[in-house]
Structure 1
Amino acid sequence: MTDTRVAVLVGSLRADSLNRRIAENLRDNAPEGVTLEIVEGLGDLPFYNEDLDGETVPEAASLVRKTVAEADRVLAVTPEYNATMPAVLNNAIDWLSRPYGAGAVVGKPFAVIGATPTPYGGKWAHEHTQKSATIAGAQVVEHIVVSQSAMEGDILADEAVVAKFADAVQALVDAEPTA
């Protein structure tokens, strides 16, 4: 098997967010032959505006697009804000979806995982992220979703929960691109 690069979009900007820690844990414990790269700079992206997306684009958008375009797979690790995905993740997907039909996520296997301190673990955010990524042209692997409740204790200390996240990464790596 050749090396597989996974671009990781973290839906929380907070430095010590649980979802960032999940992404870092997955990066630090990636299976052999797999590199997870957390895409930095999502907070630096201006709100998507077609007027900014011409011959030259803002540097932050160019860097995010380049990182994702060079990856083989995309993993969103996100909490839920007000029953949907955080604006920063939605904005990143907007930038990654253009130019229409040729954006950085087009044809890439894409999965969503994450945690939030609610009984549902971010399920609506994850569903909305899947829908948005599908419209953007990603190949969403629908059976790879981990919506983990973080209401009780440190989920990263729970080996079963950590294994669910790791299994999701392996399933994403194993997913065959259709395009």
Structure 2
Amino acid sequence: MPKGEVLLVSGSFRRGSHNAALLRAAANALPGGVTHEWLTGIAALPLYSEDDDGERPPLAVEELRRAIAAAEAVLIATPEYNGSVPGGLKNAIDWASRPFPANALRDKPVAVIGASTGIFGAIWAQAELRKSLRTAGARVVDADLAVGGAHDAFLPSGELRDPGLATGLRDLVAVLVAAAFEPLLTDGH
């Protein structure tokens, strides 16, 4: 297996975020040789404006685009705010989707998961986020995971309490890693 990196992106900025906990559990499921980094700085991004997106976009935008471009794959965990994607996360996707079509997300393997305290596990936000990512040119993997009742979903160890969800998370991580590395393996790298 080639060495590589998965970029972990939490759509929640809250300390004690259930989505950050879900990403930590996902990081523990990564196979040997595959590392992870956390995307930081989403909260520092200015609201997207084409006027600000010229030859010298804001530093936070350059760092966002550089982090996405450097990763072999991206795993995003989103909460659901008012039945949709949180504004800060959507803003980050808008910045990352430019310049179109040659942006950092273009053909990048991406998976979307989500956790919420409600029973549906952010399924609407996940669906909308997948649509935005596909429109930006990302290669969104055909796998999903919705963790409802997130306030009770994790053991003190950080693992998911429900064995079915834990298996689903491991399977999703495997699909994302395969999407990122199988093209490299078939190209002889």
Q: Say whether the fold is shared (TM-score over 0.5).
A: yes
The amino acid across from 2:147 in the alignment is Q
Correspondence for 1:172 among 159, 173, 176: 176
Matches within 5 A, 1:103-142: 103-141=103-141
Matches within 5 A, 1:1-179: 1-141=1-141, 143-150=142-149, 153-155=152-154, 156-158=159-161, 160=163, 161-175=165-179, 176=182
Count of aligned pairs: 176
Q: Greater shift after overlay, 161-170 or 108-117?
A: 161-170
- In the TM superposition, residue 61 of structure 1 has moved relative to its aligned partner by 0.7
Secondary structure at 1:144 match in 2? strand
Confirm or deny: 8 A CA contact 1:26 1:36 kept in the other structure: no
Q: Which residue of 1 aligns with 2:186?
A: none
Pair member with larger Rg = 2
TM-score (norm 1): 0.91
The amino acid across from 1:146 in the alignment is L
Confirm or deny: 8 A CA contact 2:29 2:173 kept in the other structure: no
Stretches of structure 1 lacking an aligned partner (at least 5 in a row): none
The amino acid across from 1:92 in the alignment is A
Large movers: runs of 4+ above 6 Å: none
Determine what percentage of the aligned residue pairs are the same residue: 39
Q: Distance in 1 between matches of 2:120 and 2:35?
A: 29
Q: Structure 1, residues 63-95: CA drift from partner, whole Å, max 9, x if none?
A: 111010011111111111111111111011101
Q: Distance in 1 between matches of 2:125 and 2:138?
A: 17
Q: Distance in 2 between matches of 1:72 and 1:152?
A: 31
Q: Distance in 1 between matches of 2:150 and 2:23?
A: 19
Confirm or deny: 8 A CA contact 1:4 1:173 kept in the other structure: no
Q: Distance in 2 between matches of 1:162 and 1:14?
A: 23
Confirm or deny: 8 A CA contact 1:121 1:147 kept in the other structure: yes
- In the TM superposition, residue 162 of structure 1 has moved relative to its aligned partner by 2.9
Confirm or deny: 8 A CA contact 2:79 2:116 kept in the other structure: yes
Q: Distance in 1 between matches of 2:106 and 2:125?
A: 21
Q: Greater shift after overlay, 18-27 or 79-88?
A: 18-27
Q: Distance in 2 between matches of 1:72 and 1:133?
A: 16
Q: Structure 1, residues 17-60: CA drift from partner, whole Å, max 9, x if none?
A: 01012112323453211112110001111111111111111111
Q: CA RMSD in A?
A: 1.6
Confirm or deny: 8 A CA contact 1:97 1:104 kept in the other structure: yes
Q: Distance in 2 between matches of 1:5 and 1:53?
A: 27
Secondary structure at 2:36 match in 1? strand
